[in-house]
Homo-oligomer: A and B are copies of this chain.
C-alpha cells in the first residue's frame, strides 16, 4: 500500500468523526505488515477534556482489537486544514510509546497536500523515563 492509498483510508476514517462541539473532523489510518488497516477518528465530549484525537484513537483501537503495535509499518493523519494537519502533543506522546522514532507518519489535508515525517522530528527529546517504578 502506498502513502497516498493510506491517506485515502484516513479520509474514510474521518467520515466517522463525532465532533459536534468543534465541527473539526480528523481521520487516522495505521498500516500493519500484513496489509491490515486500522482506522481512528476524533471523538469529542461535552466535557471537552474527555475528547480523544484520531491518532490516539487509531492506536488504542489497534491494541484493543488484538493487533500488535510492533507490526506497524506507517500511519496517516488527515484533516481539513490549510497545510497538512499536525498531531497535537498528546498524540505525539502516545505514539512515542508504541512507534519507532523513524516510523513513517504521513500528515495530510483534504486538498492533496501531504508531508512525511516521524517522531524523531515531531517529538524531540522525548519523555520516556520514570525513575523508581
Q: Given that A44-B48, A49-B52, A82-B129 are known contacts, is A64 also in contact with B89, CB under 8 Å in the complex?
A: no
Q: Does A23 contact B (CB under 8 A)?
A: yes
A50 touches B121 (CB 8 A): no
Give min CB distance, A82 to chain B, whole Å.
7
Within 8 A of B (CB), among A7-22: 13, 16, 18, 21-22
The interface centre, meaning the residue of A23, A64, A91, A94 with most chain B CB atoms within 10 A of its CB, is: A64
Which interface class (under 10, 10 to 19, 20 to 34, 35 or more) fits A? 35 or more
Residue in B54, B82, B97 whose beta carbon sits within 8 Å of that of A45 in the complex: B97
Q: Does A116 contact B (CB under 8 A)?
A: no
